[in-house]
Amino acid sequence: MAKKTYILYGFILLKFVIHYFAIGPEYDLDHDEMFHLDLGKHLAWGYTSVPPVTSWISYIIIHLGNSVFWVKFFPALFGALTMVVVWKTIEELKGNLYALILGSVCITFSLIFVSTNLAFHPSSLDFLLWTVMLFTIFKFINSENNIWLWMASLTFAIGFLNKYNIGFLVLGLLPAVLMTKHRKIFRNKHFYLSILAAFIIVSPNLIWQYQNDFLGIHHLNELVNTQLVYLNRYDFLLEQFNYVAISFIVIPPAFISFFRYAPFKKYIIFFWTYIFTISIYLYLNAKPHYPLGLYPILIAFGAVYMEKLLKNGWLRNIRPAAVLWPVSAFLLLLPITLPVYPTGWIKQNVWVKTITGGELPPYFTTKLGWSELANIVDDAFDSISDKENTLIQCDWYGQAAAINYYSKQNYTEAVAMHADYINWFPLDEMEIKNIILVKNRGDTDKSREKEKPLFETISYVGEIKNVYSQEYGAKVYLLKGAKQSINEILRKEIQERNNNR
């Protein structure tokens, strides 16, 4: 086996090691990870917030045992495969060992790439599929073999069924193609046939969207009104720099190489794809992480060009520093970027306090308190004799997802009048007599006046005590002995909410 192959395997192993040890034992899965796992229990061709591929992976994870090991395995695998694609791109660009190592180090130790592949979110596969799709374009440019057009369409179809975000890559690619000599692709019948094949593959999801009043558009509108409205374009551009700061040693050289290095001029389509895609996201005021999939292919070009620039004379002495920079920056920023260290250490560390102002990074707070909440719910469940007729109802999907993952009881799944959980109430499976009610910290009805006419007894069970958790103060109540048909009350509320979407 060649030396380069051993080095590649070493980077793949290192990638998995980093992802498995980048989260300390104090931290739980985050709420979105657990929500995605619940999708695997309710397979469909679409959901309120995501297309179906995530549910397929969740189905596999559940049948492998649903352990944290497997939850972490697939995002880490997608990250490792992204690095392999970059490695193969560098090889085809005639990069030697130094370029391969530099590119792999940038992918392995870039904190944004690590954090993207740290959690079981659609973004981790989206990140890989953007890279693969750009790689298929790269291969088509080199070979003009139509098989790569079909591979590009297949990648797009899988990506679309994973996260609609990949559509914006296509919107950025089309004008980039028109600006280059590669516009001749529009005279290739395989281009149109492969697009038709991609449409056929994604059509079940499009049909599902039509049958469900285009819930994806409703979700996008909700995203715009609740999150994107608070973003600004300056921060979007600033975050692009922050995201690739660790890989900064290769990104600017990549852009320069398309204009200055003769063998790379035929790949200028990737420069224009970057410009157009970023411009589209700027116009839409999108989240900064949406175009992350543009960067791996640029890292490949930048690594090869840097190898050429640092080939002779005193510049050769810079080579070790270029490789060590991503590693050093990764270790320096690790405490404030990845939830490795205990919360107490983070709060007391002087350097971390200087950067964060003494507060935990928001991402860390989303991974605390969930198992504590499930334990409180289990305590309530243990006190009920009529367990088969007990519903667990939460204020929002994160609470329901956490209870479903960490709860030890097997009688029922937690639900909420939120996200896809509104469709999963077991109203035809049980006659509800008791409800374990989970309420947000901001709930003002402490004595449960709203529910008193409906139940014989109402008692407070407990609340999340972890002050570092975003769910700190969330309370659990036990409502026992229904006086009216709770099933009918919930049916009416579900219907009203669905009608008002």
Q: What is the DSSP string of 110-175?
A: -HHHHHHTTS-SHHHHHHHHHHHHHHHHHHHHHH--THHHHHHHHHHHHHHHH-TTHHHHHHHHHH
CB-based contact 436:400 (threshold 8 Å): no
Pairing of strands 434-439, 475-482: antiparallel
Q: Whole-angstrom Cα distance, residue 257 to residue 274?
A: 14
Sequence-separated (6 or more) residues with CB below 8 Å from residue 76? 15, 16, 19, 20, 117
CB-based contact 106:89 (threshold 8 Å): no
Per-residue pLDDT of the chain (501 residues; tens, 9 = 90+): 688 999 999 999 999 999 998 889 999 999 999 999 999 999 999 999 899 999 999 999 999 999 999 999 999 999 999 999 999 999 999 999 999 999 999 999 988 888 899 999 999 999 999 999 999 999 999 999 999 999 999 999 999 999 999 999 999 999 999 999 999 999 999 999 999 999 999 999 999 999 988 887 777 777 766 776 667 888 888 888 887 777 878 999 999 999 999 999 999 999 999 999 999 999 988 888 899 999 999 999 999 999 999 988 888 889 999 999 999 989 888 888 889 988 888 888 767 777 777 678 888 999 999 999 999 999 999 999 999 999 999 999 999 999 999 999 989 999 999 999 999 999 999 999 999 999 999 898 988 999 999 999 999 999 999 999 999 999 999 999 999 999 999 999 999 988 877
Say if 334 falls within a structural domain: no
Running DSSP on this structure, what letter comes out for residue 244?
T
Number of H helices, E strands in the chain: 22, 5
Say if 267 falls within a structural domain: yes
Question: pLDDT at position 406, please?
Answer: 97
Domain boundary among 309, 328, 343: 309
| 287 CB-contact burial (10 Å; exposed 0-12 / middle 13-18 / buried 19+) | middle
Say if 17 falls within a structural domain: no
Say if 69 falls within a structural domain: yes
Say if 14 falls within a structural domain: no
Same domain, 292 and 422: no
Domain boundary among 263, 291, 309: 309
Say if 22 falls within a structural domain: no
CA 182 to the chain's CA centroid: 32
Domain tally for the chain? 2
Which helix (H) or strand (E) segment holds residue 190: the answer is helix 189-211
Reference 446, options 426, 473, 480, 469; nearest CA is 473
Please identify which residue in the block is written with the tokens 């719910």. Answer: 377
Phi then psi for residue 188, to 5 deg, are: -100, 120
Q: Whole-angstrom Cα distance, residue 441 to residue 237?
A: 35
Same domain, 465 and 390: yes
Say if 317 falls within a structural domain: no
Same domain, 303 and 416: no
Alpha carbons within 13 angstroms on the beta-carbon side of residue 485 total 8
Running DSSP on this structure, what letter comes out for residue 410?
-
Same domain, 265 and 374: no
Same domain, 233 and 112: yes
Question: pLDDT at position 1, please?
Answer: 61
Same domain, 127 and 255: yes
Q: Which stretches of 22-96 are DSSP H helices?
A: 31-39, 53-63, 68-92
Question: pLDDT at position 499, please?
Answer: 82
Question: pLDDT at position 78, please?
Answer: 97
CA 177 to the chain's CA centroid: 29
Same domain, 288 and 384: no
Same domain, 258 and 381: no
Reference 484, options 456, 460, 458, 444; nearest CA is 456
Domain holding 41, by residue range, is 29-309
Q: Whole-angstrom Cα distance, residue 409 to residue 178?
A: 58
Same domain, 272 and 413: no
Same domain, 382 and 291: no
Alpha carbons within 13 angstroms on the beta-carbon side of residue 174 total 8
Please identify which residue in the block is written with the tokens 């009350």. Answer: 489
- Number of Cβ within 10 Å of residue 197's Cβ equals 14
Same domain, 283 and 405: no
Question: pLDDT at position 315, please?
Answer: 83
Say if 314 falls within a structural domain: no
Query: Hey, is 35 helix, strand or coil?
Result: helix
Cα angle 475, 481, 482; round to 5: 90
Domain boundary among 261, 294, 309: 309
Pairing of strands 475-482, 415-416: unpaired
123-150 in b/e form (b: 16+ CB < 10 A) is bbbbbbbbbbbbbbbbbbbeeeebebbb
Amino acid at 100: L
Same domain, 170 and 60: yes
Question: pLDDT at position 308, please?
Answer: 95
